[in-house]
Structure 1
Amino acid sequence: MTQQLSKHRHISFTAHYTGYIWYQMGISHPLLATSKGKSLAFIANPIETWAEKYVGGSMRTTLKERHTMLDDTLKQLIHQCPDLQVLEIAAGLSPRGWWFRKHFSHIDYRELDLPDMAKTKQTALQQIDPSSPQVLSVDLFTEDFKNAFAVFDPQRPLVIISEGLINYFEKDLLQQLLKSIVHYGQNFKALHYLTDIYPEPVKNKLASVIWNSSKLLKVISRSAFSFHFQKPQEIQDFFKIAGFTQVEVLQPHVYFQPQQSAQMNSEEHLGDLVWMIHAKT
């Protein structure tokens, strides 16, 4: 039977770029770093360096922030629920599955992506560890998505995790994805969704530069990349419409500077380029 694919199935070169940046940061395996990613990182380096100096952050700094917040939150959930199950959607060349299976071997951690990327990831993982589970391959915007949930035990809690994904979808498609996660995960003991999101850069002095850069990314990645929200409350309301009952938005200013958090209003945009969301039912 031919796998059903939607017209929204392509996410382009960004998986190669982020995969190599994670390797540069020392948190990934060499087999998850591609030559294409290395070339892209080399080309982007002058722009990234300029952004870090004049914008106050770059793609690679936000990669580190979002990856750290997501990993820390997932570790906390594993300690709270040792029988946790994890599904990383649009996993790309992320080292997260490899790292967590290595350090928390008792959890069931599966990865999912579109056919070509799933095959690439599977080949790399088999070389790293022949016992690595099969990378699942479904389209998030077709009914095939429900098959990914079928491999897990509904008597145990399930975490869905994504990184560098949801800004690539228009709001109606994002709402569809969130509703699908809630619908297919409704019978599990507990359901969590961890993801990063790039808010509108309204607090940044070079917001127009960032906006124009996002338009370029939208074109070259052939996606609908955009900034959808300005305030944490807007995100919380949007996720609750989809069926999530609790939605926490974590901003790096508060997360990485807890001693100063008492002086900050976490309900406002604090100027960070990326936030993390922990939604649950």
Structure 2
Amino acid sequence: MTQQLSKHRHISFTAHYTGYIWYQMGISHPAFATAKGKTLAALVHPIESWAEKYVGGSMRTTLKQRHTMLDAHLEELIQQHPDLQVLEIACGLSPRGWWFRQHHPNICYRELDLPDMAATKQAALQQIEPHVDDVLSVDLFTEAFANVFKVFDPKRPLVIISEGLINYFEKPLLQQLIQAIATYGSDFKELHYLTDLYPEPTQNKLATIIWNSSRLLKLMSRSAFSFHFKTPAEVESFFYEAGFKQVDVLQPKQFFDQTRLENDHQHLGDLVWMIRATNK
């Protein structure tokens, strides 16, 4: 039987890039560093260096920020719930599943991606985790996504985590995805969704350059990459409409500089934010 696929399946090249950058940063395993990723990283290195000097951040700096924030919140949830279950969607070549399974062998941590990337990730994992569960393979915008939730125990809390995903979709499709997560996870003891997103760069003096760069990424990834939100309040409303009961928007200036917490409802100028949503 042929697996159902949506048209939104052409962004895997970014997984190779991010996988290699995480390896360069020393937070990943060589098994996740592909030759394609190395080539992409070398190609964009001059642009990244320029952006870090003149824009105040780049793709690779936001990669480190979002990865650090997501990992910290997942670690916090594991400490609160030793029986936690985790599903990382669009896992790509992220080292997160491998790292957390090594450090928390009692949790259930599964990964999911589209067929080609799932096969690539599975081959990489077999080199370093020979007994790991198979990487799940479904399209998030088909009915098959609902079946993935049946892999988990509804009597235990479930965390859905995604990184570098939700800006690639048009807003109605993004709403469909978040609504699906909230709906399919509604029967679980607790449902948490951790994700990052790139807000509109309204507070950056080089916003036009960032916008033009995003159009290039949109073209290269054959996706609908865009900035959908200007304020944390807009993000919160969007997630509430999708069915979540509590939504927190965390900006790097809040996470790395605790003196800025009083400004949590304003766009603080960061290029990436982290979202923590729950159904309780």
Q: Give the TM-score category using the shorter length.
A: over 0.9
2:12–2:92: 8 Å Cα contact kept in structure 1?
A: no
Counting only pairs closer than 5 Å after superposition, residues 12-23 of structure 1 correspond to structure 2 as 12-23=12-23
| Equivalent in the alignment of 2:195 | 195
Give the whole-Å Cα distance in 2 for the aligned partners of 1:110 and 1:36: 25
| Equivalent in the alignment of 2:260 | 261
- Specify which of 268, 271, 274 is matched with residue 272 of structure 2: 274
- Matched position secondary structure for 1:150: helix
Give the whole-Å Cα distance in 1 for the aligned partners of 2:63 and 2:43: 17
Give the whole-Å Cα distance in 1 for the aligned partners of 2:136 and 2:147: 9
Are 2:215 and 1:178 equivalent residues in the alignment? Answer: no
Are 2:108 and 1:117 equivalent residues in the alignment? Answer: no
2:12–2:117: 8 Å Cα contact kept in structure 1?
A: no
- Matched position secondary structure for 1:13: helix
Give the whole-Å Cα distance in 1 for the aligned partners of 2:216 and 2:9: 19
1:12–1:222: 8 Å Cα contact kept in structure 2?
A: no
Are 2:157 and 1:157 equivalent residues in the alignment? Answer: yes
Runs of 4+ in 1 over 2 A off after TM superposition: none
Give the whole-Å Cα distance in 1 for the aligned partners of 2:132 and 2:23: 19
Structure 1: segments with no counterpart, 5+ residues: none
2:159–2:194: 8 Å Cα contact kept in structure 1?
A: yes
Q: Normalized against structure 2, the TM-score is what?
A: 0.99
Deviations 1:100-146 (A, max 9, x none): 00000000000000000000100110111111110000000000001
- Matched position secondary structure for 1:64: helix
RMSD: 0.7
2:260 partner letter: S
| Equivalent in the alignment of 1:143 | 143
- The structural deviation recorded for 1:12 is 3.3
| Equivalent in the alignment of 2:204 | 204
1:155–1:188: 8 Å Cα contact kept in structure 2?
A: yes
Give the whole-Å Cα distance in 1 for the aligned partners of 2:260 and 2:205: 22
2:227 partner letter: F
1:189 partner letter: K
Identity of aligned residues (%): 73
1:149–1:185: 8 Å Cα contact kept in structure 2?
A: yes
Q: Normalized against structure 1, the TM-score is what?
A: 0.98
